[in-house]
Amino acid sequence: MYKHLLLIVTILFSTAAITTAQSGPSCSCSVQNRCSVSQTCNPGWNAVCECGATGCTSSCEKITEENNFSVIGFEAALASGDSKTIQNYLRQASGRNVEFIATNAGTKLSLPRSTRDETTLWDAFALLSKNGRLRVGGQDFAHWIRVREMLNRGEEYTICSDQVKSLLRHLEFVSGKRFTIVSGDVNSKLNGPVTGLGVNGVLETLKKVANIEVVGS
Tell me whether residue 200 is in a domain: yes
**Considering the domain boundaries, does residue 117 fall inside one?**
yes
pLDDT, greater one: 59 or 117 = 117
pLDDT, mean over the chain: 83
What are the pLDDT digits (tens) for 130-170? 999 999 988 899 999 999 998 999 998 888 887 888 888 88
pLDDT, tens digit, for every residue of 5-47? 444 434 344 444 333 344 678 888 888 888 998 989 888 777 8
32 in a domain, yes or no? no
Q: Structural domain tally of the chain?
A: 1
| DSSP β-bridge partners for residue 178 | none
35 domain residue, yes or no: no
Angle 153-156-159 (CA atoms, 0-180°, nearest 5)? Answer: 115
Mark residue 86 as left, alpha or beta (left: phi above 0; alpha: psi -120 to 50; beta: remaining).
alpha
The answer to pTM > 0.85 is no
pLDDT given for residue 81 in this prediction: 93
- Asked if residue 122 is part of any domain, the answer here is yes
207 contacts 185 by C-beta, under 8 angstroms = no
Domain containing 128 equals: 62-217
Within 10 Å of residue 11's Cβ, how many Cβ atoms?
10
Question: In this predicted structure, what is the pLDDT of residue 67?
Answer: 65
Residue 196: in which H helix or E strand, if any?
strand 194-197
CA distances from 169 to 27, 94, 124, 154, 175 (A): 16, 10, 17, 19, 10
Better pLDDT: 7 or 54: 54
Local structure of 69: helix, strand or coil: coil
